[in-house]
Amino acid sequence: MDLYADLDALPLGARLAVTVGVFDGMHRGHARLLQALVRAGRRWQAEPTVVTFEPHPDAVLRGAAPPLLCDPAERLAWLALAGVQHTVLQRFDAAFAAQTPEQFLARLQVGRKLAGLVMSPESAIGRGRAGTPERLRDLGERDGFTVEVIAAVRAGGGLISASRIREALSAGRLGAARQMLGRDPAVIGRVVRGDARGRLLGYPTANLAFEAPVALPADGIYAVEASWGGPDPLHPSRTAGGVASLGVRPTFEPGARTLEVYLFGVDEDLYGAQLRVAFVRRQRAERRFASAAALVAQMDRDAARARAILAARAGRWAGVGEQRVRERSLEDEGPPVLAWVPGGGEGRPTSVLRPR
């Protein structure tokens, strides 16, 4: 997949099938849209192309961006894996937001052929969201391109959306978020130095810092699957299970909200690494203990339960055994990484091209 920093950098002479969106979360609705884009590209003999944005449009239009559901690097990796040939990571600013749908389409078609647009029913482009599917169909009849509208995906009694997933996460409904995403909720952060208290307690943890606000689940203790290294977040060189603590650590002097992860079987220096943490199961709420010894005893139980949860999942999806966690079944869970990708590509972002 080729990556471009501006619409004007798209290759001249290309015949394009295009979809436009933020793609925050890369959820099941996005999966259906990308699948339709790749298929439309084959029918139209056109190159599947995504136009997405940096920063999030809400940062410009509303003054603040929502917490991200999907790390930007992971978003690009999902697009490449889906079979997208060109992705434009367009800078979204006031000037870009002021474009009419006609101006946006004109930029796409300078020296190129727009074969068609693939959209969801609720999507729109251009100033004031004037470029609805109905309006773009009219423009397509004039300019000779097709507009294909893909049915929205529903789950849990409503349309799947990034805002619904964020709400489910903040409310602690990990299963609902997983159902809409099609995979475990995950974040990517840089491992930074903490106060080393976990090491003193026998549980050295990786403390994560984030470049931008990310959508985290409710505070508590989680069984997690972590990965790091490799060319992109979906092709890591290292993986490990673990148990994570998210919260303010109330047993000691409460501080800032922190995500720290104890990785099973890992004893290496991870400082500076980009660690992806996927939340598999919320085990309990965060709480204060009367002493460090009481906390360690509970940490022992938390780690043992997390190992059991991860072993049960691995056994189920490998088809071996029926090991279950006593508290509840895993019947409502999907595989560790649900392969929602349309299957059109195995590529990765290879280059960044800027306007000529």
pLDDT bracket for residue 256 (50, 70, 90):
confident
- Confidence (pTM): 0.88
Nearest-angstrom CA–CA distance, 20 and 201: 49
Let me know: does 287 contact 250? Beta carbons within 8 Å.
yes
pLDDT, position 348: 52
Q: Is the pLDDT of residue 323 over 80?
A: no
Report in angstroms the alpha-carbon separations of 156 from 23, 27, 162, 194, 216.
20, 14, 14, 39, 20
pLDDT, position 24: 92
Q: Which of 81-95, 189-203, 231-245 has the lowest mean pLDDT?
A: 189-203
Mean of pLDDT values over 317-332 = 33
Domains of the chain: 2-156 (3.40.50.620), 184-318 (2.40.30.30)
Q: Which of 181-185, 263-267, 334-338 has the lowest mean pLDDT?
A: 334-338
Let me know: does 218 contact 253? Beta carbons within 8 Å.
no
What the block records as the tokens of 332 is 């409502």
∠110-59-176 over CA atoms, to 5°?
Answer: 105
- String of DSSP letters for 300-355: HHHHHHHHHHHHHHHHHHHT------TT---TT---SS---S-SS------EEE--
Secondary structure letter of residue 25 according to DSSP = S
Nearest-angstrom CA–CA distance, 322 and 332: 15
What 3-state DSSP class applies to 188?
A: strand
Q: Is the pLDDT of residue 118 over 60?
A: yes
* Residues 55-76 pLDDT 10s: 999 999 999 999 999 999 999 9
What 3-state DSSP class applies to 215?
A: coil
Nearest-angstrom CA–CA distance, 354 and 288: 52
User: 121 Cβ partners below 8 Å, 6+ apart?
Assistant: 133, 149, 150, 151, 152
Nearest-angstrom CA–CA distance, 145 and 116: 5
Q: Is the pLDDT of residue 356 over 50?
A: no
pLDDT bracket for residue 237 (50, 70, 90):
very high
* Residues 34-50 pLDDT 10s: 999 999 999 999 999 99
pLDDT, position 315: 79
Q: Which of 69-78, 165-174, 253-262, 343-352 has the lowest mean pLDDT?
A: 343-352
Burial of residue 322 (CB within 10 Å: 0-12, 13-18, 19+) is: exposed
pLDDT, position 208: 97
Q: Is the pLDDT of residue 321 over 60?
A: no
Taking all residues of the chain, what is their mean pLDDT, rounded to a whole number?
Answer: 88
Q: Among positive and negative, which fits the CA dihedral 309, 314, 317, 322?
A: negative
* Residues 83-101 pLDDT 10s: 999 999 999 999 999 999 9
Max intra-chain CA distance, the chain:
74
Nearest-angstrom CA–CA distance, 193 and 215: 22
Residue from 215, 209, 211, 217 nearest 55 by CA: 211
pLDDT bracket for residue 290 (50, 70, 90):
confident
